[in-house]
A and B are shown apart, each in its own frame.
Chain A
Amino acid sequence: MSKQEKNIWEKLENLPREFLYGLLLIAFIVPMINPMGLPLPVTPEVKKWYDTIEALPSGAAIIIDQGYSGGGEPECGPFAVAVYHHIFRKGGLRVIGVATTQEGPLLWDKAMAEVNPEKYGRKYGVDYIMLGYFAGVETAMAALGKDLRALTSTDYKGASLDQYPVMQGIKGATTVNLLICYTTGGDQSEGWVRQWYTPYKTPYLCNVLALMMPTMLPYMKAGQIVSLTSGAQAGQMESLVKVPARGIAGADVMTFTEILVSAFVVVGNIAYFGRRASKKKA
Chain B
Amino acid sequence: MAIAMDLASVTSIWLAALFTIWAYSYTFRDNVWFKFAEHIYVGAAAGNLIVLGIDNVIRYGWLPLTKGSMLYIVVFLLGILLYSRYHGKYFWISRFPLALMVGIGIGLSMRSTVTSEFIAQIQSTVTMKVLGVADPWTAFSNLVFIIITLCVVYFFVFTFPGIHKGNLGIISKIARYSMMAAFGYSFANGFLSRVTMIFGRLDFLKSQWLPLPGAMVALPIVLVLLVYAMLPAEKRPWPKPTKSK
Q: Which A residues have a C-beta under 8 Å from some C-beta of B?
A: 17-18, 21-22, 28-29, 32, 71-75, 77-78, 102-103, 132-135, 138-139, 142, 152, 154, 158, 193-195, 197-199, 209-214, 218-219, 221-224, 230-232, 246, 249-250, 253-254, 257-258, 261
Residues of B within 8 A of A132 (CB): 59
Residues of A within 8 A of B123 (CB): 222
Given contacts A102-B56, A211-B189, contact A224 B116 (CB under 8 A): yes
Is B120 a contact of A222 with CB atoms below 8 Å? yes
Residues of A within 8 A of B108 (CB): 138-139, 142, 195
Cβ contact of A193, chosen from B27, B56, B116, cutoff 8 A: B116
Is A254 a contact of B185 with CB atoms below 8 Å? no
Does B195 make an interface contact (CB < 8 A)? Answer: yes
Residues of B within 8 A of A71 (CB): 197
Highest count of chain A CB atoms <10 Å: which of B59, B112, B193 = B193
Is B192 a contact of A250 with CB atoms below 8 Å? no
Is B121 a contact of A222 with CB atoms below 8 Å? yes
Does B211 make an interface contact (CB < 8 A)? Answer: no
The residue in chain A whose Cβ has the minimal distance to the Cβ of B186 is A214
Is A258 a contact of B195 with CB atoms below 8 Å? yes
Cβ contact of A133, chosen from B56, B192, B193, B200, cutoff 8 A: B56
Is A253 a contact of B199 with CB atoms below 8 Å? yes
Cβ contact of B197, chosen from A75, A194, A212, cutoff 8 A: A75
Does B196 make an interface contact (CB < 8 A)? Answer: yes
Cβ contact of A230, chosen from B115, B117, B185, B193, cutoff 8 A: B193
Q: Which B residues have a C-beta under 8 Å from some C-beta of A?
A: 27-29, 49, 52-53, 56, 59-60, 104-105, 108-109, 111-113, 115-117, 120-121, 123-124, 182, 185-186, 188-204, 206
Kindly list 12 other residue pairs between chains A and B, CB separation below 8 angstroms, not including A32-B199, A198-B120, A214-B182: A21-B27, A22-B28, A28-B202, A32-B203, A102-B52, A210-B193, A219-B116, A222-B120, A230-B192, A250-B196, A253-B199, A254-B195
The residue in chain A whose Cβ has the minimal distance to the Cβ of B45 is A70
Cβ contact of A210, chosen from B56, B111, B190, B204, cutoff 8 A: B190
Is B203 a contact of A102 with CB atoms below 8 Å? no
Cβ contact of A253, chosen from B52, B111, B121, B195, cutoff 8 A: B195
Residues of A within 8 A of B124 (CB): 218, 221-223
Cα A261 to Cα B194 in complex, Å, equals: 12
Is B112 a contact of A211 with CB atoms below 8 Å? no
Residues of B within 8 A of A72 (CB): 197
Residues of B within 8 A of A75 (CB): 193, 196-197, 200
Is B193 a contact of A28 with CB atoms below 8 Å? no
Is A74 a contact of B199 with CB atoms below 8 Å? yes
Is A29 a contact of B203 with CB atoms below 8 Å? no
The residue in chain B whose Cβ has the minimal distance to the Cβ of A138 is B108
Is B59 a contact of A210 with CB atoms below 8 Å? no
Residues of B within 8 A of A74 (CB): 196-201, 203-204
Given contacts A18-B28, A139-B105, A218-B121, contact A211 B116 (CB under 8 A): no
Is B109 a contact of A254 with CB atoms below 8 Å? no
